[in-house]
Amino acid sequence: MKFAVIVFPGSNCDRDMYHAVKEVLKEEADLVWYQSANLEDYEAILLPGGFSYGDYLRSGAVAATSEIMQQIKAHASKGKPVLGVCNGFQILLEAGLLPGAMQRNKNLAFMCHQEPLVVENNETLFTSLYEQGEVVQFPIAHGEGNYFCDEETLEKLKANKQIVFTYRNNPNGSVADIAGIRNEEGNVLGMMPHPERAVEALLGSADGVKLFQSVVKNWRESYVANT
């Protein structure tokens, strides 16, 4: 399976994503500069964390208007996997690929530590190798990770089982403890915690490996079924 790791000016978790896919999963991966990207030949798109465009205006707001987002939207419309982590999640929200918005953490401080999460939905292409309700450890590293949406949107997220991960301790004040959501079609996932920084025990947790393995397994099964 071939992954594109999109690199914006200010991205700083792109190498972590690349390492998780290339060195841990042993799958194909390229670091793709946003201005020269051609995503036609990639099966999955990864939007990494960092501070795209220095978080000017709002986190992810400038990156969400870049030309590459049209390719990413076209990629998503074909049912191909798109994963946005941390700043990548913020970009997906700003681009309208996922509902809701991000606010400053409730304590108005940058937070960086391991955080326990609950797998709320294991019937997704990103989480099928986890158990329903499984508690995993992923690190967080953000200042604007307080997810917000209105009541109507929240009810839709719940009804459609779009809430994929929740926080056990809700460190940033996110509505309904939300740590990660998917789109209605199920092929776009945004999350604030970093699974790519939890792929080896040396890093403090290897719980993130199953997220990437789930993507590869489900894509290959889907590919075989359609060929």
Q: What is the CATH number of the domain that holds 158?
A: 3.40.50.880
Do the bridges between strand 44-47 and strand 178-182 make them parallel or antiparallel, or are there none, so unpaired? unpaired
Q: Any residues with CB less than 8 A from the CB of 49 and at least 6 apart, and which?
A: 11, 12, 13, 16, 85, 86, 87, 88, 141, 142, 194
Both structure tokens of 162: 């779009």
Number of domains in the chain: 1
pLDDT band (50, 70, 90) for residue 13: very high
Question: Among 43, 94, 144, 196, which one carries the catalytic annotation?
Answer: 196
Q: Is there a catalytic annotation at residue 196? A: yes
Question: Among 13, 43, 75, 86, which one carries the catalytic annotation?
Answer: 86
pTM of the model: 0.96
When pLDDT is averaged across residues 135-146 and rounded to a whole number, the result is 98
Among residues 65, 103, 89, 43, the alpha carbon closest in space to that of 226 is found at: 43
SS3 state at 100: coil
- Are the beta carbons of 175 and 154 closer than 8 angstroms? yes
Q: Which domain holds residue 162?
A: 2-225
Q: How far apart are CA 152 and CA 211, in angstroms?
A: 29
Q: Is there a catalytic annotation at residue 194? A: yes
pLDDT in tens, 118-138: 999 999 999 999 999 999 999
Q: Is there a catalytic annotation at residue 13? A: no
